[in-house]
Amino acid sequence: MPVPIDRALVGMVDAPVAPSDDPARLGTVTLSPAGPFTVGEHVTLRLVHTVGHHGMDDRGSLKITMRFPADGGAWQTEDPVAPNYVRIEASRPCRFRSKFEAFGNARPWFKAFTVQVVGGCLAAGDTITITIGDRSGGSAGMALQTFVEHACEWKVLVDPCATGWFAEIPAGLAFEIRPGPPARWVAVLPTRIHPGDPFRLSIKAEDALGNPTDLADQALRLESTLPVAGLPSETDLRPGSFARVIEGLRMSEAGLLRIRVVDPRGRVLATSNPMRVEANGTRAWWGDLHGQSAETIGINTADDWFAFGRDKAFLDVCAHQANDFQITSPFWAQLQGVSARWNQPGRFVTLPGYEWSGNTAVGGDRNVYFRHEGRAIRRSSHALLTDRSDIDTDATTAATLFEALASEDAVAYAHVGGRWADLSVAHDGRIERAVEVHSDWGTFEWILHDALRLGHRVGVVANSDGHKGRPGASWPGASTFGAYGGITCFFTERLDRDGIFEAIRARRTVATTGCRIDLGVHALVQGRRFREDPALGPTASDACEEATIGDIVSSARDRFPVRVHVDSAAPIAQIDLLVGTDVAASWRPPGTGRRIAVRWEGALYRGRGREVSWDGDAHLEGGRIREVTRINAFNPTHALTWDETSLRWRAITTGNFGGFDLVCDETPAAHLTVRTKHATLDADLSALDEIRLDAGGLGMALSARRLADDAPRTLDWTAEVSRAQGDTAIGVRVLLEDGHVAWSSPIYVVRDA
């Protein structure tokens, strides 16, 4: 039996009034069948409301609500042939008016289907039967959500007296949603280790919607590019297991390792991320420190959040970040125990904390992390909390938050979610050590640009900000989330809280859109390296010949070379060497090939409604389309169809980019036209190098370019940069052919301090 979240832990406010103090007088609700169901499955569910003591007056209403992450089909009553058709019937003659709204109820139960009685009334004992996904007219049924949930809960509210106030019927409607069959395979290695270090290989299968699945039944062969002590030649993944983790592996010699997972017929199922073994390199650990569970606005429990991160995404570091104005006092106390219980130094590190969720006008979203449990929560408000006993502890602006944290062993990130952080309102370099440039919400390089223009010396991070229970492997699903969730690489020798805090405070981080890349950046400067940002006060320094990711150094030199090293799983499409907000130099693979990359990108603006629809079509004259590969197409309801001369698609971006790669048979007169409502691109393919059209908004653009045939996966590249007027903030951005992006935290070269 699915067990819903304890309501005492959930930050929410019920209706302040009801027609009776006896919940039994509101009637009853049943839902059948009981499940379990499979993600994305089309089903037919029957919800029956038996009217209670008060009856149901003309204009009285029934409301079925779901949590914010719910991304199943939008219910409709207009077309019985189309998916998600709903039929509404009553036990006596009656008419109904209905509507489905993405924001039709109070948080966290935002999704709502409201049924209103019109032209009649119902008495106690009468029934309203709502058939969701009714197939009698030819509909395929109702599409379920894309993510696994142990207890998918619906809350049913009723307004029998047509007052406009709804009260909950205590129905306890919950059902389990399970993963589907395997569709893709994933193999994960560490990124950097020392010779002789023990390490693990982790293998999993995911269903078509990105959920790890326990339905795989597969014998596996393992092929390694270098000798690995303890690596078996064969293994398997059988039903009931979500992963195969092979522990205790070792390499005694330096080198670059990749492992292929192959089926018995020789088909490559997955190739691991690269792992570099170096005696002098710094170890690297991967984390997702941002997301929440059903106690606030996500799904499943906080324990489930950490379990997924460790056992299904194979993270090294994880944190839970609930919206503060929804965190009840019992939940805050429980979270301390959860984070402490999951913290395993050397294996899996957790950081206790919360999301300070102030509106943009008072500073905007910050993630707060403590080194130890038991610290006080300083909320931005009590917006969804009826217990006001500790309201005087609120920090209602970002400035007062930083004041409160000044005496704490804590760090903070600025991030962009529903609310965005306005760094000009408040910043404290002692506390705020990084900006989040990517999450499920999209890509936000502009927040780093804001920080640099304001003179902040911060690192970059990426996280999922996930609401669907998948830290470290966060598919956005069928919703307005337009991006796969990010992860952060922490460079530190120690996998414990001290080591992770040290990496955050020293800005030794690389942010990615979800890939595990090894990115090294070294500026060959002669000067002094500061132990702490000298802008924060006196600090020690030592002489240096070079600086690496996150360093703050002083130097008298006006020009200096920067060495970049990349090891990636996918071919490298481009590397940009950044100085402040400008691109100082770029590398692309030499030559051109048959593939044509069409891309769209950007956001409408900084706020909640930033999503850009790039629905469009393309037509090829003077050639035939042979292959099409979609890039960053995460929403399963957004299809791309094509034939030999045309394509049609649906797509969105939220600051990130998407698109497709074409392989064509071309004549000298071949011409490609790409049409969207924001821009139309025309390209003569014989002369195509790169075309880029500005489409307005916040970095919105449509582009096409040729891709090289044989781009490398490992590269060493050196370019020279000139000193800027103020800080010379040197960063690197890497674009991979599969659509992933990585950013290094800047190296800050400052004038003598």
Cα-atom radius of gyration of the chain, to the nearest Å? 27
Confidence of residue 87 (pLDDT cuts 50, 70, 90): very high
Q: pLDDT for 635-693, tens place per residue?
A: 999 999 999 999 999 999 999 999 999 999 999 999 999 999 999 999 999 999 999 99
Judged against a pLDDT cut of 60, whether residue 418 lies above it is answered with: yes
Residue whose tokens read 């995911």: 206
Residue whose tokens read 């592996």: 249
Confidence of residue 15 (pLDDT cuts 50, 70, 90): confident
Confidence of residue 753 (pLDDT cuts 50, 70, 90): low
Tokens of 91: 């036990």
Amino acid at 203: I
CA dist., res. 175 & res. 601, Å (int):
38
The confidence score (pLDDT) of residue 724 equals 82
The confidence score (pLDDT) of residue 258 equals 98
- Cα 329 to chain centroid, rounded: 27
Confidence of residue 282 (pLDDT cuts 50, 70, 90): very high
Mean pLDDT across the stretch 213-221?
Answer: 98
Confidence of residue 726 (pLDDT cuts 50, 70, 90): confident
Sheet holding 714-722, edge to edge: 547-548, 518-523, 559-567, 714-722
Judged against a pLDDT cut of 60, whether residue 118 lies above it is answered with: yes
What is the pTM for the complete model shown?
A: 0.96
Q: Is 202 helix (H, G, I), strand (E, B) or coil?
A: strand
CA dist., res. 148 & res. 38, Å (int):
8
Judged against a pLDDT cut of 90, whether residue 3 lies above it is answered with: no
State the CB neighbour count (10 A cutoff) for residue 496.
16
Residue whose tokens read 């640099």: 452
CA dist., res. 420 & res. 416, Å (int):
4
Contacts with 746 (C-beta within 8 Å, 6 or more apart), sequence order: 452, 457, 459, 460, 507, 550, 578, 729, 730, 731
Amino acid at 148: V
Mean pLDDT across the stretch 315-339?
Answer: 97
- SS3 of 448-505: HHHHHHCCCCCEEEECCCECCCCCCCCCCCCCCCCCCCCEEEEECCCCCHHHHHHHHH
CA angle (240, 440, 4) in 5-degree steps: 50
Backbone angles phi, psi at 553, to 5 degrees: -130, 150
Mean pLDDT across the stretch 443-449?
Answer: 98
Of the candidates 615, 693, 703, 691, which has an alpha carbon nearest to the alpha carbon of residue 653?
615
Reported as type and span, the H/E element at residue 276 is strand 275-277
Contacts with 411 (C-beta within 8 Å, 6 or more apart), sequence order: 368, 369, 431, 432, 433, 434, 501, 504, 505
Q: What is the DSSP string of 309-377?
A: HHHTS--SEEE---BGGG--HHHHHHHHHHHHHH-BTTTBEEE-EEEE---GGGT--EEEEESSSSPPP
Q: What is the DSSP string of 546-573?
A: -EETT-EEEE--SEEEEEEEEE-SS-EE
Surface-to-core class of residue 264, CB atoms within 10 Å of its CB (0-12 exposed, 13-18 middle, 19+ buried): exposed
CA dist., res. 460 & res. 483, Å (int):
18
Judged against a pLDDT cut of 60, whether residue 386 lies above it is answered with: yes
Backbone angles phi, psi at 574, to 5 degrees: -165, 145
The better pLDDT of the pair 120, 481 is held by 120
Of the candidates 148, 162, 244, which has an alpha carbon nearest to the alpha carbon of residue 474?
148
Quick one: residue 677, left, alpha or beta (phi over 0 = left, psi -120 to 50 = alpha)? alpha
CA distance readout (Å), 552 to 457, 539, 583, 750:
8, 11, 20, 7
CB 200 within 8 A of CB 247: yes
Q: pLDDT for 48-63, tens place per residue?
A: 999 999 999 999 999 9
State the CB neighbour count (10 A cutoff) for residue 712.
13
CA dist., res. 579 & res. 6, Å (int):
50
Judged against a pLDDT cut of 80, whether residue 480 lies above it is answered with: no
CB 128 within 8 A of CB 62: yes
Sheet holding 268-271, edge to edge: 234-237, 218-224, 259-262, 268-271
Mean pLDDT across the stretch 730-734?
Answer: 98
The confidence score (pLDDT) of residue 4 equals 84
Backbone angles phi, psi at 68, to 5 degrees: -50, -40
- Cα 705 to chain centroid, rounded: 28
Mean pLDDT across the stretch 464-478?
Answer: 95
CA dist., res. 752 & res. 431, Å (int):
24
Question: Strands 432-439 and 410-414, how do they pair?
Answer: parallel
Share the mean pLDDT of the chain. Answer: 96
The confidence score (pLDDT) of residue 646 equals 98
- SS3 of 497-527: HHHHHHHHHCCCEEEECCCCCEEEEEECCCE
Q: pLDDT for 150-195, tens place per residue?
A: 999 999 999 999 999 999 999 889 999 999 999 999 999 999 999 9
Q: pLDDT for 235-258, tens place per residue?
A: 999 999 999 999 999 999 999 999
Domains of the chain, with CATH numbers?
A: 7-178 (2.60.40.290), 184-277 (2.60.40.10), 289-514 (3.20.20.140), 595-710 (no CATH)
Quick one: residue 55, left, alpha or beta (phi over 0 = left, psi -120 to 50 = alpha)? left
CA dist., res. 630 & res. 649, Å (int):
10
Mean pLDDT across the stretch 285-296?
Answer: 97
Confidence of residue 752 (pLDDT cuts 50, 70, 90): low
Residue whose tokens read 């449990």: 373
Residue whose tokens read 């800005």: 507
Judged against a pLDDT cut of 80, whether residue 476 lies above it is answered with: yes
